[in-house]
Amino acid sequence: MMTFFEKQTNPLDQAHHMGNLMVDNMYTSGTAGKKFFTHLKENDTFLASRCKKCGTTFFPPRLYCEDCFIEIPEEDWKEVPAQGTVRLFTIATLNTFGEKLDEPKVIGMIDIEGTDGAMLGYIETDETNKDLIGSKVKAVLREKKDREGTVKDIRYFQVL
Ligand SMILES: [Zn+2]
């Protein structure tokens, strides 16, 4: 007999139904995220926030330092260039549905200059055989008139 306290390690031991569900998700960027994207809509730079106590510069910016448990006030937010260095990258040949892409896409983790943070982004390059780790890249943004204040305003990163 199973009790509520019995450790269950295999979900298939329970009554189950196998299948796929299509689920729509909505993610809100929060107060700091909204400030970041509002800035990006009108500027060609990123915003970061710096904890005065430990010196960590957060990218994406945060309202609080999770290590020091202190608020990061307005005056400790700063503009940083929309560029950075490729920390790691991969080359995708399939889309999220497992279908083959017409062209491979390079996706990288970019350490954003002047911060301790990073972001994922597409990297445009003609040289898919090249080791991009350590390459300097710059964000290519949508035209200002077309920006929506979302992550899609960052079209891709271009190798400098
Ligand atoms: Zn801190």
- Whether 81 and 113 have beta carbons less than 8 Å apart is answered as yes
- CA-based Rg of the chain, rounded to a whole angstrom? 20
Q: Could you tell me which residues come within 8 angstroms of residue 62 by beta carbon, excluding any fewer than 6 positions away?
A: 32, 49, 72
69 CA → ligand 1 middle, Å: 7
Domain ranges in the chain are 30-159
**78-97 per-position pLDDT tens digit:** 999 999 999 999 999 998 88
71 CA → ligand 1 middle, Å: 9
pLDDT above 90 for 1: no
Average pLDDT, stretch 125-138? 88
Amino acid letter, 119 = M
The tokens 């307005």 sit on which residue?
Answer: 74
pLDDT in the model for residue 90: 94
**53-83 per-position pLDDT tens digit:** 999 999 999 999 999 999 999 999 999 999 9
Nearest to 36 by CA among 63, 72, 56: 63
Give the CATH fold of the 30-159 domain.
OB fold (Dihydrolipoamide Acetyltransferase, E2P) (2.40.50)
44 CA → ligand 1 middle, Å: 27
Q: Could you tell me which residues come within 8 angstroms of residue 87 by beta carbon, excluding any fewer than 6 positions away?
A: 108, 109, 110, 111, 118, 133
Q: How far apart are CA 50 and CA 69, in angstroms?
A: 13
Predicted TM-score (pTM) above 0.85: no
- Whether 82 and 141 have beta carbons less than 8 Å apart is answered as yes
Average pLDDT, stretch 116-127? 92
Average pLDDT, stretch 131-143? 96
34 CA → ligand 1 middle, Å: 21
Nearest to 108 by CA among 83, 80, 144: 83
